[in-house]
């Protein structure tokens, strides 16, 4: 897929400026191809295309829209192999994970197609002779800015619910892995969606992203990314009072109690820590491990990390690929150095093999004996780095867990479920996982707690975010 074009109004177009930028293979650092460099003028024509498509798409019956989304789901499954290879090449996702993610994207469209018909209005009894009810209507034109850490699944997470309830969309994929977004455009071009229902533009957040957020023809913004970027978007969106749904940063606490099943915990936490090279907003951030099991937990974690197969994602035996960019690689490596400088003990982590030197790899890393005030315990590393802290019965573990600017989720591992349940109300986060981690299409994700976001994604709750609730009152006793 060399030098693709953008998808606007059902047509393949170059940037009006004629400019392009490169996208790289994070496993090798080599150029894959060039994509159009959109600016404000390109955003404007994409928004106009979405605005022109909105009346017809929003007025279709729910059954018609759902049928179109089922067709998209089928096309994604047909192209799952291509999407997986592209995700491996441009993002560094190992093939087995990438193929599963592509199939998961199809599931998102299918789920929204089946669920949207249940998002109905509500009758409100008032008094005789009157009718009062609420009806949901699409928000309008939705601008999406997709994160670079999970480009395939997040494209589906954003577009599927918005389209299902009648919105039209302008989507800006991450500039780092823009070709994945344009591969989706090929799928939409074959679907039953009308021209302009989905428009995909490529370019950096500082130009194309800002133009999308500030455009007066955009009614709503959906964004996933860092809290810092989210704050800038909120400030830009304030000029036109746009509704924003945002899933932002997290530094998620993990509480390992003295009676936890350590082997079971690491099957979940270790996988989540190193899967996608730790580039998960829902992944473990800082581990508070009870002193009675602290040494045993470290020993088992070292063994787990040592079994992670790091390498080129094209190799089917690999379980962890590179980080997404050289810039992010340098950032994560900086956190590791900072942790050691501040007194953390590097119990696992090594220089990458010479064969991986050209790529953006960081090997699985474990920092032990960290303290709550260390940089690695306070900030979101977003990489394959486990940060371990020892706690005792004298510590207020809830206060430590809540002492963060983030509030995305928390993990609790204990053999006493009742004891774990007592923490649910005290942990100031959007999701609590006790002895597990699960995220399904039926479950809402996200939070409006602290700096971790605004609103929900997924499930019926997330779909409702893309609607406006209209009150209708009628006096028929006249």
Would you please indicate which residues are annotated as catalytic (active-site) residues?
158, 247, 281, 457
- Cα gap 37→14, rounded to integer Å: 8
- 409 backbone dihedrals φ, ψ, rounded to 5°: -155, 170
Which ranges of 359-447 would DSSP assign to H, the alpha helix?
A: 375-378, 397-402, 417-421
Instruction: Assess contact for 30 and 24: CB atoms under 8 A.
Output: yes
Report CA-CA distances (Å) from 314 to 80, 106, 273: 15, 22, 21
The Cα 239–Cα 233 span in angstroms is: 11
Q: Which residue has the tokens 């089922």?
A: 70
- Residue 384 phi, psi (nearest 5): -80, 60
* Cα end-to-end span (Å), the chain: 66
Residue 371 has a CB neighbour count (10 Å cut-off) of 12
For residues 388 and 266, give the distance between their C-alpha atoms in angstroms, rounded to a whole number.
13
Q: Kindly state the tokens that stand for 98.
A: 């990438």
Fill in the DSSP letter of residue 458.
Answer: S
Give the separation between CA 473 and CA 127, rounded to whole angstroms. 11
What is the DSSP code (8-state) at residue 135?
E
- State the Cα torsion 179-180-182-183 to the nearest 10°: 120
What's the token pair of residue 159? 């577009």
* CA–CA dist 86, 101 (Å, integer): 12
Report the alpha-carbon distance of residue 252 to residue 118 in Å, rounded: 33
């Amino acid at each position: 897929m060399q030098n693709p074009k953008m998808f606007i109004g059902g047509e393949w177009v170059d940037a009006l400026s004629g400019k392009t930028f490169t996208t790289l293979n994070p496993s090798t650092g080599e150029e894959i191809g060039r994509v159009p460099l959109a600016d404000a003028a390109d955003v404007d024509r994409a928004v106009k295309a979405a605005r022109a498509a909105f009346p017809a798409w929003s007025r279709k019956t729910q059954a018609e829209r759902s049928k179109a989304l089922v067709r998209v789901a089928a096309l994604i499954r047909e192209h799952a192999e291509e999407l997986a290879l592209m995700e491996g090449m441009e993002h560094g996702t190992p093939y087995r994970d990438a193929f599963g993610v592509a199939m998961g994207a199809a599931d998102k469209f299918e789920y929204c197609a089946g669920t949207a018909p249940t998002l109905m209005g509500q009758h409100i009894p008032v008094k005789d002779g009157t009718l009062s009810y609420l009806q949901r209507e699409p928000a309008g034109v939705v601008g999406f800015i997709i994160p670079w850490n999970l480009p395939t699944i997040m494209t589906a997470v954003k577009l599927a619910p918005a389209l299902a309830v009648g919105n039209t969309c302008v989507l800006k994929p991450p500039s780092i892995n823009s070709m994945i977004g344009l591969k989706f455009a090929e799928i939409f071009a074959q679907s039953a969606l009308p021209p302009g229902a989905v428009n995909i533009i490529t370019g950096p957040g500082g130009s194309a992203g800002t133009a999308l957020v500030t455009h007066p023809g955009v009614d709503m913004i959906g964004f996933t990314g860092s809290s810092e970027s989210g704050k800038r978007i909120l400030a830009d969106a304030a000029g036109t009072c746009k509704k924003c749904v945002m899933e932002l940063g997290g530094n998620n606490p993990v509480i390992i109690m003295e009676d936890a099943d350590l082997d079971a915990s690491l099957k979940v936490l270790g996988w989540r820590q190193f899967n996608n090279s730790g580039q998960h907003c829902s992944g473990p951030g800082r581990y508070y491990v009870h002193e009675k099991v602290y040494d045993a937990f470290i020993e088992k974690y070292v063994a787990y990390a040592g079994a992670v197969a790091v390498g080129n994602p094209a190799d089917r035996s690999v379980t962890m690929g590179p980080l997404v960019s050289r810039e992010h690689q340098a950032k994560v490596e900086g956190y590791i150095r900072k942790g050691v400088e501040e007194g953390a003990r590097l119990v696992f982590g090594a220089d990458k093999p010479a064969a991986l030197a050209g790529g953006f790899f960081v090997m699985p890393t474990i920092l032990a004996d960290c303290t709550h005030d260390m940089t690695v315990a306070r900030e979101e590393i977003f990489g394959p780095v486990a940060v371990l802290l020892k706690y005792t019965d004298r510590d207020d573990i809830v206060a430590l867990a809540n002492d963060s600017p983030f509030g995305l989720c928390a993990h609790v591992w204990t053999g006493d479920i009742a004891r774990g349940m007592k923490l649910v109300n005290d942990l100031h986060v959007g999701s609590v996982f006790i002895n597990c981690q699960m995220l399904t299409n039926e479950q809402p994700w996200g939070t409006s707690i602290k700096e971790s976001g605004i609103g929900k994604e997924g499930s019926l709750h997330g779909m409702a975010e893309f609607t406006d609730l209209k009150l209708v009152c009628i006096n028929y006793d006249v």
